């Protein structure tokens, strides 16, 4: 079956529906109409630009350009992790923690999948490397961001409990252990829920796209299973790494809770 092309007119019809939704939200006084329009505009612009970039990468097919693209994607994901935290660390430490966690997990799992499981020739083929890395980074970024935000906010809210446990002789690991576990669970639960409902409640995006492009359902399913398992591994290890690094950063060498390393929601230090 030939792939049915979507014209710019068709996209315009979909855009009109978004404008209609924004108008209804304005009428209902939800206060999100302008944010919805800005998000839709960003989606159109960003995806249009990335299409041009990917076409250039596919044409060049050089390791340097693909590595450069991957590096930019990891850095942007780290920045998004920092921006989604209500109480981020000072002096760019949230960006550093997020970037390192994503690199150790999502990037590493992507390289492993390309080298060992999929095995394209060359292994960094942009047709496989860039989409796979994008899906890995997007999900890992969300898990790390949620877990770090949960950890720093919980440490702030329970600072008296943590300090009392430290005064009773507990180590910093023990004093904040329950908060670390809650933060890790909060970062991993969305991925676990997505895996549990895949194929029953929803058809994942990559599988749907492959089927629409003419790939057999059986092959599309195998690719989707691979992607979801890789995402689970990347998100899990990324969440654990981020929480472990961030929780250690909340204490100094004398095992004192240092909330002055966090910014308040308005951007100032505590």
For residue range 76-92, list pLDDT tens digits in order. 999 999 888 888 888 88
**CA quadruple 66, 242, 116, 213: dihedral sign:** negative
| Alpha-helical runs (H) found in 158-262 | 159-167, 172-175, 177-197, 205-212, 217-249
What confidence score (pLDDT) does residue 20 get? 95
Q: What is the mean pLDDT of residues 4-11?
A: 84
Q: Is the pTM above the cut of 0.75?
A: yes
pLDDT digits (tens, 9 = 90+) for 229-241: 999 999 999 999 9
Rounded Cα gap, residues 207 and 73, in angstroms: 23
Q: Which two tokens stand for residue 8?
A: 């710019």
């Amino acid at each position: 079956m030939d792939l049915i092309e979507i014209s710019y007119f068709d996209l315009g019809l979909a855009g009109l529906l978004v404008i209609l939704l924004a108008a209804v939200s304005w009428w209902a006084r939800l206060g999100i109409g302008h944010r919805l329009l800005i998000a839709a505009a960003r989606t159109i612009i960003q995806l249009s630009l990335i299409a041009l970039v990917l076409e250039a990468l596919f044409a060049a097919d050089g390791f340097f350009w693909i590595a450069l693209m991957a590096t930019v994607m990891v850095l942007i994901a780290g920045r998004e992790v920092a921006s989604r935290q209500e109480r981020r660390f000072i002096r760019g430490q949230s960006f550093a923690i997020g970037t390192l966690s994503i690199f150790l997990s999502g990037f590493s799992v992507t390289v492993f999948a390309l080298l060992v499981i999929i095995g394209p020739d060359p292994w960094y083929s942009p047709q496989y490397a860039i989409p796979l890395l994008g899906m890995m980074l997007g999900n890992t970024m969300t898990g790390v961001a949620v877990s770090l935000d949960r950890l720093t906010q919980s440490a702030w809210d329970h600072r008296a409990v943590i300090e009392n446990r430290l005064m009773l002789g507990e180590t910093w690991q023990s004093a904040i252990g329950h908060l670390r576990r809650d933060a890790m669970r909060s970062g991993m639960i969305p991925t676990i829920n997505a895996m549990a409902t895949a194929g029953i409640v929803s058809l994942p995006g990559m599988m749907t796209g492959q089927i629409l492009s003419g790939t057999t359902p059986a092959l599309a399913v195998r690719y989707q299973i691979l992607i979801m398992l890789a995402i689970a591994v990347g998100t899990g290890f990324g969440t654990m790494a981020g929480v472990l690094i961030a929780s250690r950063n909340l204490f100094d060498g004398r095992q004192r809770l240092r909330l002055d390393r966090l910014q308040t929601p308005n951007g100032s230090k505590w």
